[in-house]
Amino acid sequence: MTVKTSISLTDEQEAYARSLVEAGRYPSLSAVLQQGLEMLRRDSESRDTEVEALRLLIGRRRAAAFVDLDEGEAETQAMLERKRQARAAL
C-alpha cells in the first residue's frame, strides 16, 4: 500500500535527491526517500538488537561469579596458549 504525504526538505537535501534521480540511481524522488527511510529503519532495528544483546550480556555477567584479576589473567593466558597450540597443530 502506498500513502501520499507532503514533506519538507532543505535545499541541499532536495538537490542531492534530485542528483541521484538524474544520475539514474533512482526512478523518482519518492524512491530516494523510501530507500532512505528503509535504511534508517534497518539501522535502528540493528542498533536496538545490539543494545538488547549487550543488556543480556551485562545481565549474565552480573549474575556470574566474580573472578579476581589474577584468576582472570591466568584464564586469559591459558586460553591464548590453547589457541597458539591449536594454530601450531595446523
Domain coordinates in residue numbering, the chain: 11-65
Q: Label residues 32-42 b or e (16+ Cβ within 10 Å = b).
A: bbeeeeeeeee
Binning pLDDT at 50, 70 and 90, where does residue 78 land?
very high
Interval 54-77: pLDDT, tens:
999 999 889 988 888 999 899 999
- Per-residue pLDDT at 88: 87
Query: Measured between alpha carbons, how far is 49 from 54 in angstroms, rounded to an integer?
Result: 9
CA angle 13-39-29, nearest 5°?
Answer: 40
Grouping H, G, I as helix, E, B as strand and the rest as coil, residue 39 is helix
